[in-house]
Amino acid sequence: MRWIVQKTVEGWGKLRRFYLVHFRKRYVAAQLARRLGACVRCGDCCSIMFRCPYLDGDNHCTIYERRMVQCRYFPIDARDLAYRTSCGFRFPES
């Protein structure tokens, strides 16, 4: 049951991020300005709901320099890190 809840939350997160990067660009810019850390290329975000076809065997993105906008901006806010454990990004407490 927990798996179903996690996948539902992840699916909603994918839709939310798509909406944000295309229709709420100022919100995204403000959140990215708050974001701390750096991408450690862990591939953790590339396995949300399903494994990205652009990941190689070592969990590295094969199109990293030209990846989609939703991927470049991940995580947009702290909600995106709910199920991510290896991500090098974090957000300060409000």
Count CB neighbours of 37 within 10 A. 11
Structure tokens at 2: 């927990």
Domain that holds residue 23: 2-90
Stretch 48-68: mean pLDDT, rounded? Answer: 87
Cα–Cα separations (whole angstroms), residue 81 to 13, 57, 66, 85, 89: 10, 23, 23, 8, 9
Residue 20 has pLDDT above 90, yes or no: yes
The total domain count for the chain is 1
Express each pLDDT in 22-43 by its tens digit. Answer: 999 999 999 999 999 998 888 7
